[in-house]
Amino acid sequence: MSKSVKISASILFDGWNEPMKDGAVIFEGSKITYAGTSEGSPKADTEYNTQTVMPGLWDCHIHYFGVKGASEEEWNLTHPITMSARAIFDAQADLRAGFTSVREVGGVGLKMREAIDDGTSIGPKIYSAGSPIGITAGHADAHTYPLDFVHSRAALLWGSLGPVDGPWEAVKAMRVQFREGADLIKIMGSGGVMSQRDSPHHQEFSDEELEAMVNEAQTKERVIASHTHGAAGIKAVLKAGIQTIEHGTWLDDELCDLMIEKDAILVPTIFIQQRLKEFGEQFGASMAVMDKIQEVAEKHKETMKLAYKKGVQIACGTDIYSSGMDSMVPHGMNAKELSYYVEVGMSPLEALRTATAMGPKTLGPRAPKSGELKVGYDADIVCLSTDPFRDITSIEDRKNIIGVFKMGNLDVNNGIV
């Protein structure tokens, strides 16, 4: 029988409800067996004390790419082994920042996670889409490279097809990712910022292609996450039945209503927009990219205010992808996103929910029992030396994250007693 562990805390946040004073959570092996008041709670084999205990956090939009900056050259010419070797440290940084689960919407995490799951390295649980799927000349294409190079690069990185066109090619690209073990599908529903020659305002996949992909995803019980900035793309993917909108920059009143009607979730990614605006040029972003980012970063925060006010469901996502603290959007800074949510109007409680109970919902039918301190749920737990309800920014500082348990293992011990 596995030994039981109890964590008592002045503040217990279960992932959804108002925080409880003097709470305790107990787990045996990888599952939670008790969460509630400390008084009257059962004894355990090992006991810890902390200021705040809460569920391990979720970042619902990250990438493990193992690159440092924002140049198309670096993205396309970095060797996959170099990318993975760096990304293993990025995974550690995420976990140390209190993020026990990440939804990787494109990247090398799908294969890298095997080294985490077998205990070789530490890192969060990675729920991955593998290769993002997009059209020729779209956001998943590399516009300044020969097309046959782009296809062979995709094959090397992901066993994937590269840019696809037409309903059946799009469906085949999804099936290739299912074959590789993808937990969800990532598509490019509109143009992007970091790609050279497409516009965030344009819809990318056609209605016909979207319909075919949504049918395939439903049959295989996977969620589709759609990178979508412009109104045309957002409307098209929502109408097709896509469940999560990544970025959602030009959501307006009508589109917020449509999101609510369709029960869709917004994954905002304010962090990357702000970092790109500030540091993009320094990290090799082209002038074409910098022009787009000025427009997107400004609009994005405004839209978040609207989406929050209208009551759109929001899950935390940063779009962090780069390696090392001296890089463009560093892994380990994930909690900064929550401070932005408070800045646009959320209470600390509402912001924390986006990274706890809301996280698994972005995986639809494949949602694990995680993100909440509840009996039977995964023992993914973060212990803080501070009160995040008083100061949300206190989670950004890693020295305040004194213990991180993933599936009941104390993977990060930073002074918990």
Binding site for Zn ion (CB under 5 A): 319
Q: Is 186 an active-site residue?
A: yes
Cβ distance to Zn ion smaller for residue 6 or 336: 336
Cβ distance to Zn ion smaller for residue 68 or 374: 68
> What DSSP letter does each residue of 343-396 carry, written as one string?
HTT--HHHHHHHTTTHHHHTTGGG--S-SS--TTSB--EEEESS-TTT-GGGGG
- Measured distance CA(218)–CA(181) in Å, rounded: 16
Cβ distance to Zn ion smaller for residue 162 or 192: 192
Cα separations in angstroms, 215 against 141, 181, 185, 212, 310: 24, 19, 12, 5, 29
- For residue 5, what are the β-bridge partners? 27, 46
- Measured distance CA(238)–CA(336) in Å, rounded: 28
Tell me how far, at minimum, the Cβ of 115 lies from Zn ion, in Å.
Answer: 23
Tell me how far, at minimum, the Cβ of 384 lies from Zn ion, in Å.
Answer: 28
Q: H/E element holding 225?
A: strand 224-228
- Measured distance CA(124)–CA(126) in Å, rounded: 6
Tell me how far, at minimum, the Cβ of 198 lies from Zn ion, in Å.
Answer: 15
Cβ distance to Zn ion smaller for residue 204 or 319: 319
From the candidates 68, 111, 125, 186, give the one annotated as an active-site residue: 186
Tell me how far, at minimum, the Cβ of 317 lies from Zn ion, in Å.
Answer: 8
Cβ(417)–Cβ(410) below 8 Å:
no
From the candidates 319, 378, 380, 411, give the one annotated as an active-site residue: 319
Q: H/E element holding 332?
A: none
Cβ distance to Zn ion smaller for residue 276 or 307: 276
Tell me how far, at minimum, the Cβ of 132 lies from Zn ion, in Å.
Answer: 8
Q: Is residue 235 helix, strand or coil?
A: helix
Distance from the Cα of residue 221 to its chain's centroid? 19
Task: Single out the residue of 230, 239, 231 nearest to residue 207, CA to CA.
Answer: 239
Cβ distance to Zn ion smaller for residue 319 or 380: 319
Residue with the closest Cβ to Zn ion? Answer: 319
List the beta strands (DSSP E) in 38-166: 46-55, 57-67, 99-104, 125-128
| Phi, psi torsion values for 84, nearest 5 degrees | -70, -40
Tell me how far, at minimum, the Cβ of 227 lies from Zn ion, in Å.
Answer: 6
User: Could you give the residue numbers annotated as active site?
Assistant: 186, 319
